[in-house]
Amino acid sequence: MGKYQNDAERLLKEVGGKENIKAVTHCATRMRFVLNDPDKADQEAIDDIPSVKGMFTNAGQFQVIIGNDVATFYNEFKEISGIEGTSQEDVKSVAQKKQNPLQRAVGALAEIFAPIIPAIIVGGLILGFRNILEGVDFGGATIVDRSTFWAAINDFLWLPGEAIFQFLPVGITWSVTRKMGTTQILGIVLGITLVSPQLLNANDVASTPAADIPQWDFGFAQIDMIGYQGQVIPAMLAGFLLAYLEIFFRKHIPEAVSMIFVPLFALLPTIIAAHVVLGPFGWWLGNIISNVIFAGLSSSISWLFSFAFGLLYSPLVITGLHHMSNAIDLQLIASEITDHTTSLWPMIALSNIAQGSAVLAVIYLHRGNKKEEQVSIPAMISCYLGVTEPAMFGINLKFVYPFIAAMIGSGFAGLFNNFMDVRANSIGVGGLPGILVINSQIGGGYLAFAIAMVIAIVIPFLLTVFFRKRGIFNKEDREEPEAAIAADAAASGNIDLSSTEDETTTTSAAPQVTKEKLFAPVSGQLMQITAVDDPVFSQKMMGDGYAVKPSSDKIYSPIAGTISSVFETKHAIGILTAGGAEVLVHMGLDTVELKGTPFTINVKENDQVTFDTQLATMDRKAVEDAGKQTDVLTVFTNGDKINSLSIENKAEVTAQEEIGEVEVN
C-alpha cells in the first residue's frame, strides 16, 4: 500500500469521482483540478482528509493543498484514479474555457491591474501624507503654512505622486502588453503619447474654453491635443488595440522584416486611433460610469446603494468581480464631477476591517485552539492591513456565520460612511491604514471615517459571537474543535478545566527538543512569510517560515540536513534535518509553470548539505520576464514538529548569514 493510498482514494471520491475530473496536475504544494461540476466536491469531507492542509478555488481551478510531498501524493492519485495528468498550462487553458465571458473579462482586468497595484498603494500613502500636511487645519494654519521644511517635503512628494497617478495610463498600457504577451516597450511608448507634456492636461480640459484647446491642424481635419492623465478606459482601449495589431502583423509580415514593420504598423495606427477615436470615446464612457455611480451615491436612495455595496463587496471578492471596482474607483478619481475623489474606496477599506473583526471574534470564541490560531491570527492582521482573502477563505467561509456577520457590519459601516459623505483621494490603501487617503476637506473627513471603522469593528465582532452562541448561520454538521468547546464552556462557567484530569496523575518524559540554526538562502531583503504574495504561504497553510526577496541568483541551503526531494520542475527542493524538520526551499512564486527553465540545480536526493552548500542558481531576470515574483521561501512543512521559530529583525541579509533558529521536538 502506498503512503497516501487511503487519502488519495478519499480525495478521488470527495471531488466527485473520476468522471467529475476534467484535468488535474500539481505544483510544489497543491493538487490543481479542473472539475466538470465544482458543486460535487464535498469540501468539508476533503478538509477532513489527514493529508489535506486546505483548499480554495482560483481562476477556474479547484486547488487542494497537500504540502511538500505533493509529488508522491499526485503519483498515487494517478494510479488509483487511472487519470493521466496534464501540464500546468493545459490545466490553466481548460480552466479558462470553463469560465463564462464575464469571468474571463474580469480575470483579464485583474491581470492588468495586479502588477500596478503596488505603485497605486505607494501613491495613495504619499497622497495621504500630503493630505495631512496641506489639508489639516491646526489652529488656523496647516503644517505647510507653519514650516518651510514640511512645505518643501510636501512639494517634493508631488514627484512620485504625479508619476504614479498622472502617468497612470503608461502603467496600464504596459500592463496590457505584458498580459497579452506583446512588446512591452511599445506599450510604454503608447502610454507616454497619452500623457505627453505637449498635450493639454486632462485636469485642465473642463476649465479651458473650447476655442483655447490646442489642435493638430492637418488642413482637412483638426484633432484636439488633449492628454489623458489619470484616465483608465482610454488607456485600456488603446493598449488592447496595440496588442491585437501586433499579434495580427506578426502572423502576416515575414520574419525577416518583422522587427521593422510589426512595431511600426502596430504603434502608429494605435496612437492615431487613441487620439481620434478611442481617447474621446473612452473619456465619454468613463464620464457616464462616473455620473451613474455618483448619482447612486448622492441620490435619495444613496443609503440603500451604500448599504448594498458594503454588504455585497465581500461576496464580490469570492467571485473575482471586485477587480472591476479598481477601474471604477480610478475613473471616479479622474472625474471633475466627484472633485477627483471616490466614495467607493472608503467602503472597501471598511469591508476589509469588518472581515478582520469577524476573525477576531472567532479567535475569541475558539481561544485555546493553537492550531487554528496559526491561520486566524495572521489572517486577522492581514485583513486589518487590507488583504482579506486569507481571512475569508481560511476562517470566515469555513464557519459561514463570521462571514455573514462581517457582511452586515460592512453594510452598516458603508451606510454611515456615505451618510457622512466620506471620500478618498486615491485607492490602494485598505483596512485600517485606509484613513490616510481620506479627503479631510469634503464631508465628515477623518473623524467620520474613524467612527465608521469603529462600526466595522464592533458590529461584526458582536454579531459573530451572537450567531455562534445562538447557532444562527452555523453549519450544523461541522464539529467545533474540542479546545474551542472547552474554552467556550469554561468562559460560561460550565466546566472547571482544572478538574478534568483523573486523580491518579501520570507523567511522561518531556519530548526531546533540538535547536537548529537558520541561515539566509540568498542575499536580499528579509521578509516575514505573511508578506509573501501567495495565500497558501502567507496564511501559513504550508507551515511557518520566512522569505527573502533576492538580489543575487545563487541559492544556498538555509539549514543543515539531507536533500529529501528535488522537484522535476526544479523550482523547489526539500530538506530533512537531523532533528526531523521538513524544510521546503521554494524559488519564486508560481514558477512551477516555467518548467525548470530559469533554474540550475546543484544537488540531488540524499546529498548532505550545510549553510555553505549552493543548492541552485535562479535566473532572476528570466523569472521576472515571465511575469513571476522571485521571492525565495524557506517553509517548515511539518508544523507538528516545530516548537518555535525565531528570525532576527533585519532588513537586508547576505547569503549564508545566520539569521535565527528553529526548535524541533
The pLDDT tens digits of the residues spanning 504-523 come to 333 344 457 788 999 999 99
In whole angstroms, give the CA distance from residue 242 to residue 638.
Answer: 49
Range picked from 145-149, 177-181, 292-296 for highest mean pLDDT: 145-149
Work out the pLDDT band at 249, boundaries 50, 70, 90. Answer: very high
Confidence (pLDDT) at 659: 93
DSSP string, 156-207: HHHHHHIIIIITHHHHHHHHHHHHHTS-HHHHHHHHHHHH-TTSBPGGGTTT
Residue 28 clears pLDDT 90, i.e. is over it: no
- In whole angstroms, what is the distance from residue 477 CA to residue 483 CA? 18
Burial class (CB in 10 A: 0-12, 13-18, 19+), 471: exposed
Q: What is the pLDDT of residue 531?
A: 85
What is the pLDDT, as a whole number, of residue 94? 55
Alpha-helical regions (H) of 510-569 = 535-538
Cell numbers found for residue 424: 478618498
Asked if residues 452 and 434 have their Cβ atoms less than 8 Å apart, the reply is: no
**pLDDT(454) > 80:** yes
pLDDT range class, residue 68, cuts 50, 70, 90? low
Domains of the chain, each with CATH number or no CATH = 5-99 (3.30.1360.60), 167-298 (no CATH), 302-487 (no CATH), 514-664 (2.70.70.10)
pLDDT score recorded for residue 323: 57
Cα separation, 90 vs 96, in Å, equals: 10
Q: Express each pLDDT in 301-323 by its tens digit.
A: 888 888 988 888 887 766 555 65
Give the count of alpha carbons within 13 A of 247, CB side only: 12
Task: Give dist(CA 264, CA 257) in Å, integer.
Answer: 11
The residue with greater pLDDT, 558 or 638, is 558
102 pLDDT tier (thresholds 50, 70, 90) = low
The per-residue pLDDT for 248 is 94
The pLDDT assigned to 13 comes to 92
Does residue 27 carry a catalytic annotation?
yes
Query: What is residue 208's predicted lDDT score, i.e. its pLDDT?
Result: 85
Q: Which residues have C-beta within 8 Å of that of residue 483, sequence separation ≥ 6?
A: 366, 368, 369, 370
Chain segment 158-199, per-residue pLDDT in tens? 888 778 878 889 999 999 998 888 899 999 999 999 999 899
Tell me what percent of the residues of the chain surpass a pLDDT of 90: 32
Which letter, b or e, does each residue of 62-88 get, where b requires 16 or more Cβ atoms within 10 Å of its Cβ? bbbbbbbbbbbbbebbeebbeeebbeb
Whole-number Å distance between alpha carbons of 327 and 231: 9
Of 12, 15, 21, 27, catalytic: 27
**Spatial separation of the C-alpha atoms in residues 618 and 553, rounded to whole Å:** 5
The highest-confidence range among 63-77, 446-460, 641-655, by mean pLDDT, is: 446-460
Average pLDDT of the chain? 82
Torsion sign, CA atoms 307, 313, 314, 315: positive
Spatial contact of 448 and 456, defined as CB atoms under 8 Å apart? no
Cell numbers linked to 60 = 477556474
Give the model's pLDDT for residue 508: 41
Question: Would you say residue 479 has pLDDT above 50?
Answer: no
The stretch 639-664 carries a mean pLDDT of: 88
Helices 445-470 and 401-419, interaxial angle, to 10°? 150
Q: What gap in Å lies between CA 377 and CA 379, rounded to an integer?
A: 5
What are the Cα distances from residue 266, in Å, to 164, 281, 333?
A: 26, 20, 31
Distance between CA atoms of residues 84 and 257, nearest Å: 43
Most confident stretch, 113-127, 295-309, 522-536? 522-536
124 has pLDDT over 80: no
Give the residue, 310 or 216, on which the prediction is more confident. Answer: 216
Predicted confidence at residue 59, as pLDDT, reads 61
